[in-house]
Amino acid sequence: MPRKPSNLIYGVDENPGPIALVLMGLQHISLMSIAFIFPVIIIEAIGGNLEEAEGLIRMAMLATGIGTILQGINRGPVGSGYLCPLLNGPAFLSASLMAGKLGGLSLIFGMTAVAGVFEAFFSRLLSRMRAVFPAEVTGTIVTMVGIEVVPLSVRKFLGIDPTHSMPDSTAVLIAMITLGAMACFNVWGKGKLRLYSVLLGMIVGYAASAMAGLLSPDTFRVMMEAPFFALPAVGHYGFSFEWVLLVPFLVAALSSALKTMGDVTTCQKINDAQWKRPDMVNISGGVLACGISNILSGMLGALGQSVSSSNIGLSIATGATSRRIAYSTGIILILLAFFPKFASIFVIMPTPIMGASLIFAVSFMILAGLQIIMSRMIDARKTFVIGISIIFGLSVEFAPGLYRDVHPWIKPIFSSSLSLATICAVVLNLIFRIGIAKTTSLVLTPGENPSEDIDHFMEEQGRAWGARSEVIYKAKAAMIEFYEAAAESALTRKPVTMTARFDEFNLDVDMDYEGKPIELAASRPDARNLLTDPDAPLKLAGYMIRSLADHAAMESVAGRNRVHLHFNH
Amino acid sequence: MKVWSKRQQDVVVLAVQGRLDAATAPLFEEQVLPMISAGDKNFLLDLAGLDYISSAALRRLLFFAKRAEDQGGRVVLLSVQNHILEILDMAGFTQLFAIFADQDEALRSF
């Protein structure tokens, strides 16, 4: 049973009430609105008009609204049960551009639906792939999920958009005011102020933009001219299919699935104070929801969807992760698709406010990833998996033209720092698993000082296994406790063999020796008797061994003894 | 294992670093027991740098505290890390020793 972390105001199962749900839904949509740029990019690339762009944005609202609700469902096979909003993210951008240029919108939608089917199928395999995604891999993915948004965030923060190719000092000032306000409300604000820190920061940013003349009557013309009510043109462009685009869309679907994995992992972690490892069944549900959403996107006439990392960052920052916010966000998005006048409010957000909001949310996202990485012991193998993956992931951002000439089929992998880092992390993890023994032994001879030997042995193994340091610490303590007691009470004069076995869920230690058995006392002897009762030290050692392990057992046959210790991992 | 000592009025502050186990506990005793013989009786054990302690070392610690008490003094613990605290609690030592997080507060307790 997950335990709600103390920093959350509204945990995943809690109900913030109707007014808070609407306000927090709007807060999430404000941040998601940044992604409405992607439909515009596609329409511009294929030579479409403004009407088509507006139509595609409204279809994005409808499709991602449904997707966000599906993702929030916590019963049945579909959905992760978390506040994990979906949007038309960059995962499908490259493939959609290729499809748009080759066969227009109908080909984009047809291929998106096919990609959704693949993603749904892939989700069913995930629960069997636990070994492929240990903490260092998922942590790297989550970190890169945040880092991937950095270039976009900083460009927006500096006021760079289609009409401004260079940083603009007024925009930077507004972005700083907005980000400063958000940070102040979040750090020093209590309760509601922290809950709505992004929304309040945006209001401050809008006020600053108005004073600086960034919100001119021209800006509002789009809103004024939009109709009050209009039915979304569902399936208006039809579907088509092209074999040559299958690989790019399957790679895009894979990127989307891996991104969902990282994001759902973050959601699991931020909602459980005792989080230890990714719940792959839950992640499968999340990826299935994403796959079904992409099938819907294709059928309705919207671009491919993936989970929004920025919104998860927002939920961490505000301390509100209730799944009901996912429902309210989804419902408001669906309604906006029918009311273009209101929908246009989110399309006219000034660039620096978008940048400030993104930087605010991304900060939390990157830290969540680093925390997952550092939850495990790190050795040279893990260092390479994490380091190399991040370096090559960042290379996509640092040198954008570097992978320009890769084959178009695999271009989606190289078009995103997240995709490339993820593929690197998964492959390197599989390579560096070679040679890691899951079972390993140490033989100790009485008379030697075993404490340091046991310490080094378990530390080294713990790092190779990527085990949690607190579990290794307890195992070491129990092993040293046993050996010291065995030597002091002369339980044996022959070598003791200590065998440790590890998998992601269990650490088992067997200590085999010839001699007298040790009593693993269920009750603690009175510590005050340690200096007077000669039996008390051995009893205390037995009690400590039993208490340090999650399960301890003693087997004794014809003078051969085995102390078995089990530690949950 | 290393022990640093300094005097704060009539209290000896002992900072212990490293591991205290069956092998190192006698070294600890070699350093601290002569202080009691020399007339010191109040000790503040700063355990911020202690990585590990076994029950064999706990027994030595108890012996040290008993000797201090015999002289009319006491031993209190300072800055105990969580994993060490868990072991002290498991062994029942949190009932035998006063534990402080703040050095001034610990010194005032004597």
Residue B37: pLDDT above 70? yes
The CATH number given to whatever domain includes residue A443 is 3.30.565.10
Same structural domain, A473 and A417? no
Query: Residue B76: in which H helix or E strand, if any?
Result: strand B74-78
Please give the Cα distance from A300 to A60 (Å, whole number). 9
In the structure, what pLDDT confidence band is assigned to residue A122 with cuts at 50, 70 and 90? very high
Residue A288: both structure tokens together: 């299935």
Residue A35: pLDDT above 90? no
Residue A88: pLDDT above 90? no
Residue A199: pLDDT above 90? no
In the structure, what pLDDT confidence band is assigned to residue A11 with cuts at 50, 70 and 90? very high
Residue B48: pLDDT above 90? yes
CB contact under 8 A, A451 and B19: yes
| Chain B nearest CA to A528, separation (Å) | 8
Q: Is B41 left (phi over 0), alpha (psi -120 to 50) or beta?
A: alpha
Task: Say how many C-beta atoms besides its own lie within 10 A of residue B108's C-beta.
Answer: 9
Q: Is A487 on the interface with B (CB under 8 A)?
A: yes
CB contact under 8 A, B21 and A451: yes
Domain count, chain A: 2
Is A145 within 8 Å of A421 (Cβ atoms)? Answer: no
Tell me what pLDDT residue A447 has.
Answer: 67
In the structure, what pLDDT confidence band is assigned to residue A458 with cuts at 50, 70 and 90? very high
> What is the interface pTM, i.e. ipTM, of the complex?
0.94
Average pLDDT over residues A111-139: 89
Task: Provide the whole-model pTM.
Answer: 0.69
Q: What percent of chain A has pLDDT over 90?
A: 48
Tell me what pLDDT residue B43 has.
Answer: 97
Is A154 within 8 Å of A355 (Cβ atoms)? Answer: yes
pLDDT in tens, A41-50: 788 778 887 7
How do the domains of chain B map onto residue ranges? 2-108
CB contact under 8 A, B87 and A470: no
Whether A23 is covered by a domain: the verdict is: yes
Q: How far apart are the first and last CA of chain B?
A: 27
Please give the Cα distance from B11 to A205 (Å, whole number). 58
Q: Is A189 on the interface with B (CB under 8 A)?
A: no
Closest CA to A468 of A506, A495, A498: A506
Same structural domain, A502 and A384? no
- Of A8-12, A284-288, A309-313, least confident by mean pLDDT is A309-313
Which burial class, exposed, middle or buried, applies to A439 when counting CB atoms under 10 A from its CB (0-12, 13-18, 19+)?
Answer: exposed
pLDDT in tens, A180-194: 999 999 899 887 888
Residue B64: pLDDT above 70? yes
* CB contacts, 8 Å: B88 with chain A: none
Closest CA to A182 of A12, A359, A14, A420: A359
Same structural domain, A525 and A506? yes
Same structural domain, A373 and A416? yes
**For the range B98-102, what are the long-range contacts, defined as Cβ-Cβ under 8 Å and sequence gap of 24 or more?**
B98/B74, B100/B76
In the structure, what pLDDT confidence band is assigned to residue A397 with cuts at 50, 70 and 90? confident
CA distances from B38 to B35, B61, B71 (A): 5, 18, 11
Chain B, 3 to 32: residues with Cβ < 8 Å from chain A are: 19, 21-24
Radius of gyration of chain B (CA): 13
Task: Please list the alpha-helical segments (H only) found in A339-416.
Answer: 340-347, 351-374, 380-398, 411-414
Same structural domain, A351 and A484? no
Same structural domain, A448 and A416? no
Q: Is B56 on the interface with A (CB under 8 A)?
A: yes
Please state, rounded to an integer, the average pLDDT across all residues of chain A.
Answer: 88
Same structural domain, A390 and A494? no
In the structure, what pLDDT confidence band is assigned to residue A256 with cuts at 50, 70 and 90? confident
Q: How far apart are the first and last CA of chain A?
A: 16
pLDDT in tens, A317-367: 899 999 999 999 999 999 999 998 887 777 777 889 888 988 887 888 788
pLDDT in tens, A382-395: 999 999 999 999 99
Same structural domain, A417 and A521? no
Alpha carbons within 13 angstroms on the beta-carbon side of residue A485 total 28
Domain boundary among A398, A432, A466: A432
Residue A450: both structure tokens together: 């075993």
Q: Which of B22, B66, B91 sits opposite A484 (nearest CB)?
A: B22
pLDDT in tens, A415-456: 778 778 888 999 999 999 887 778 999 998 866 777 888 999
In the structure, what pLDDT confidence band is assigned to residue B57 with cuts at 50, 70 and 90? very high
* CB contacts, 8 Å: A452 with chain B: 19
Task: Say how many C-beta atoms besides its own lie within 10 A of residue A225's C-beta.
Answer: 10
Task: Report the 3 state secondary structure along A246-293.
Answer: HHHHHHHHHHHHHHHHHHHHHHHHHCCCCCCCCCHHHHHHHHHHHHHH
Residue A499: pLDDT above 90? yes
DSSP state of A226: S
Average pLDDT over residues A519-539: 91
**For the range A166-172, what are the long-range contacts, defined as Cβ-Cβ under 8 Å and sequence gap of 24 or more?**
A170/A212, A170/A214, A171/A214, A171/A350, A171/A351, A171/A352, A172/A352
CB contact under 8 A, A541 and B62: no
Same structural domain, A410 and A491? no
Q: Is B59 on the interface with A (CB under 8 A)?
A: yes
Alpha carbons within 13 angstroms on the beta-carbon side of residue A29 total 32
Please give the Cα distance from B78 to B40 (Å, whole number). 18
Is A235 within 8 Å of A294 (Cβ atoms)? Answer: no
Domain boundary among A410, A432, A454: A432
Name A512's bridge partners: A497, A562
Residue A273: pLDDT above 80? yes
In the structure, what pLDDT confidence band is assigned to residue A117 with cuts at 50, 70 and 90? very high
Q: Is A548 on the interface with B (CB under 8 A)?
A: yes
Residue A153: pLDDT above 80? yes
In the structure, what pLDDT confidence band is assigned to residue A275 with cuts at 50, 70 and 90? confident
Closest CA to A498 of A536, A454, A436, A447: A454
Tell which CATH classification among 1.10.10.10, 3.40.50.300, 3.40.50.970, 3.30.750.24 matches the domain B2-108: 3.30.750.24
Domain enclosing residue A477, as ranges? 439-568
> What does the DSSP assignment read for A432-452?
HTTT--SEEEEEE-TTS-HHH
Same structural domain, A468 and A425? no
